[in-house]
Amino acid sequence: MAESPSPEKGNPQRWLRRFERPIFAVRTSLTIRILAVNIIALALLAGSFFFLDNYRRQLLDERFNLARSEAQITAEALVGVRPASMDALIVQIGKEQRLRLRLYDSDGSLLKDSFALAEPSFTLIDPDSEPWYQHAARALDRGMDVILGADPVPSYSEPETPGADAWPELALAKERMRTQVFLRYAPDRTPVITAAAPVGTQGQMLLTTRNALNITQSVRDARQTLAIIVAAALIVSIQLSLFLARTIVQPLRMLVRAAVRVRSGRDREVVVPRLPERRDEIGLLARAISDMTNALRQRIDAVESFAADVAHELKNPLASLRSALESLGMVEEPELRRQLREIAMHDVQRIDRLVSEIADASRIDAELSRAVFEPVDIASLIANAVGAREHRKENAGHSIALTRREPGPFMVMGVPARLERVIENLLDNAASFSPPNGTISVSIQAQGDAIEIELCDEGPGIPETEREAVFQRFHSMRPETEDFGDHSGLGLAIARTIVEAHDGTLTLRDRHDGHTGACFVIRLPSAEKP
């Protein structure tokens, strides 16, 4: 079953509109990725909120130890004090340590209460009288306890009866004969730490109560400081991420839009932004895409021009062939029929030559882009090419003088078959323009880091205004003695293409000795000697 075409394949504008959506409409946008990376790092920092629970536990443990020590010391002090001084001692300790002290008899009845003997040393805060942010802080405390799975803590409230039965820590301390510490939460969710300790050996018990406000305040202060740091870092990170996204994503979107327009082929004059102010990798990318687009356009223009030239060049021999074949059926005279057949054969050969040359010219770039260059002794290659031409008698009676101006070897990196094609094309051209029995001179020498090959003929020469035109495809400047159609007009164009693919140059100049003729100069980068 044939695959149904994607609607975006046939509609470049629809594909383009995908890149014109708002930044946050694309799930895989670089902006979202940049934000995600930075926010994840901050989220890890925010995770330090959970470590504040350990800080709170450490503070509580310290206060538990302090409460245990205070209860034990106070109980020992009460054992040795005279009954007349006991009330004053209880009031003094409660006031100085901000404690509430209760002394119970062996039957559990309340004997002494520091808050009854004097003004209370502390007062539990009514949460209804506090501002809103304290309510938010308590809600955050509860949320952290839920997230961390903290053990539930009972609420603190004064018992309705003053007896010891309301305090389980008293019964436990009496049973175990050692100090017991309990934790409860006041109505404002601050810790209330109670410690029960035996007093003497007569069964009396001491209960101390402390509202540890500073523990909650210390944890909340630390949490607030950390929250401010995380919030500030989050704001800065988001701003920097958006700035980074703008500096990266927006130029990329500009390049994408331009590339899509180039791809659609409908906007011929679209300009790919070069972003000259950008000195980073995006600027390099923009300029590379712009250069690539310009090179692509030049290549397309060259292909279109080449196709037009091919059509034009093929049209003439086809028209001549058609005319000869149409006339052949109407002519009875043998000699005229023979001439018409020769014309038709010549046109067929011309078309065959054109097709071969055109096919070769069209695949040279692709072949050389994939070719693996190897060291080539260019002097030996030229000598072999000259010898082969003499053996095939392709020099049309001309002699070829090969001169090495230095001992050599003359090594270059390249494809031997293609370099030989350059020499063949230039020798064919020189043989076409040289007079009968003329001499074609070829010289080789090293020029710095390049190898220079000069090939000169004794023909009429080429005017300076035409020296670049001769390298154009299908250039028609041919000698008068040559039959029409014997050459395709692609030989010099192919030669220059091959030389430039080898990072060299092929130029044209006058002879140095003052005689008439043209000199083609090939310069190729020199390779290291093996």
- pLDDT at position 2, please? 41
Residue 373: left (phi > 0), alpha (psi -120 to 50), or beta?
beta
Last residue in a domain, options 188, 220, 252: 220
Q: Say if residue 381 is in the same domain as residue 331.
A: no
Q: What angle do CA 238, 239, 240 make, to 5 degrees?
A: 90
pLDDT level of residue 451 (50, 70, 90 thresholds): very high
CA 67 – CA 50 distance, rounded (Å): 26
Say if residues 187 and 126 touch (Cβ distance below 8 Å): yes
Percent of the chain with pLDDT over 70: 81
Beta strands in 99-251 (DSSP E): 100-104, 110-113, 180-185, 191-199, 204-211
Q: What local confidence, expressed as pLDDT, does residue 482 receive? A: 47
pLDDT at 380 over 50: yes
The answer to whether residue 16 is domain-embedded is yes
CA angle 343, 389, 373 (to 5 degrees): 110
Q: Is residue 414 domain-shared with residue 519, that is, in the same domain?
A: yes
Residues 6+ apart with CB under 8 A from 500: 506
Q: Which residues, in sequence order, are bridge partners of residue 199?
A: 204
Which residue has 């003497």 as its token pair?
Answer: 200
Residue 500 clears pLDDT 80, i.e. is over it: yes
Instruction: Please give the distance of CA 223 from its chain centroid, rounded to a whole number.
Output: 38
- Which of 315, 344, 370 is where one domain is finished? 370
Range(s) of the domain holding residue 39 = 12-48+224-264
| 251 shares its domain with 347 | no
Residues 280 and 351 in one domain: yes
Residues 133-186 have pLDDT tens digits of 888 888 878 887 787 777 889 999 988 888 899 999 999 999 999 999 999 999
CATH number of the domain at 69, please.
3.30.450.20
Pair of tokens at residue 212: 């540890």
Laid out side by side, the sheet with 450-456 consists of 399-404, 439-447, 450-456, 518-525, 505-510
Q: Please indicate, yes or no, whether residues 390 and 355 belong to a single structural domain of this protein.
A: no
Residue 86 belongs to some domain of the structure: yes
Per-residue model confidence (pLDDT) at position 476: 59
pTM of the model: 0.47
Residues contacting 382, CB < 8 A, separation 6+: 402, 423, 442, 444, 453
Q: How far apart are CA 419 and CA 447, in angstroms?
A: 19
Residues 381 and 366 in one domain: no
Residue 518 and residue 452 in contact, taking contact as beta carbons nearer than 8 Å? no
Q: Is residue 4 part of a domain?
A: no
516 and 445 within one domain: yes
Q: Indicate if 202 and 95 belong to the same structural domain.
A: yes
CB 265 within 8 A of CB 304: no
Instruction: Give me the helices (H) in 23-158, please.
Output: 30-46, 51-80, 83-97, 114-117, 132-148
Residue 1 has pLDDT above 50, yes or no: no
| Strand 100-104 with 204-211, pairing | antiparallel
Contact 259, 89 (CB under 8 A): no
Segment 509-513 mean pLDDT: 83
User: Are residues 66 and 213 both part of a single domain?
Assistant: yes
- CA dist., res. 164 & res. 150, Å (int): 29
Q: Express each pLDDT in 241-289 by its tens digit.
A: 777 777 777 788 888 888 777 777 655 666 777 777 777 777 788 888 8
Ramachandran category for residue 485: left, alpha or beta (phi over 0 → left; psi -120 to 50 → alpha): left
Query: With 80 as the cut, is the pLDDT of residue 63 above it?
Result: yes
CB 74 within 8 A of CB 208: yes
Q: Is the pLDDT of residue 6 over 60?
A: no
Q: Is residue 70 part of a domain?
A: yes
pLDDT at 488: 55
6 domain residue, yes or no: no
| Number of domain units in the chain | 4
Q: Are residues 57 and 33 in the same domain?
A: no
Instruction: Report if residue 3 sits inside a domain.
Output: no
Q: How confident is the model at residue 30 (pLDDT cuts 50, 70, 90)?
A: low
Distance (Å, whole) CA 81 – CA 83:
6
Q: Look up the CATH number of the domain holding residue 496.
A: 3.30.565.10
Q: Look at residue 7 and tell me if it is in a domain.
A: no
Q: What is the largest CA-CA distance in the chain?
A: 163
Taking CA 69 as the corner, what is the angle to CA 67 and CA 70, rounded to the nearest 5 degrees?
Answer: 65
Residue 54, by phi and psi: left (phi above 0), alpha (psi -120 to 50) or beta?
Answer: alpha
Which of 370, 397, 414 is a domain's end point? 370
Summarize the confidence of residues 77-103 as an average pLDDT. Answer: 91
Pair (63, 197) in one structural domain: yes
pLDDT at 520 over 50: yes
Mean pLDDT across 61-75: 92
Q: How far apart are CA 270 and CA 272, in angstroms?
A: 6
* Integer Cα distance of 424 and 492 in angstroms: 10
CATH (domain of 334): 1.10.287.130
Q: Is residue 1 part of a domain?
A: no
The verdict on 115 and 216 lying in the same domain is yes
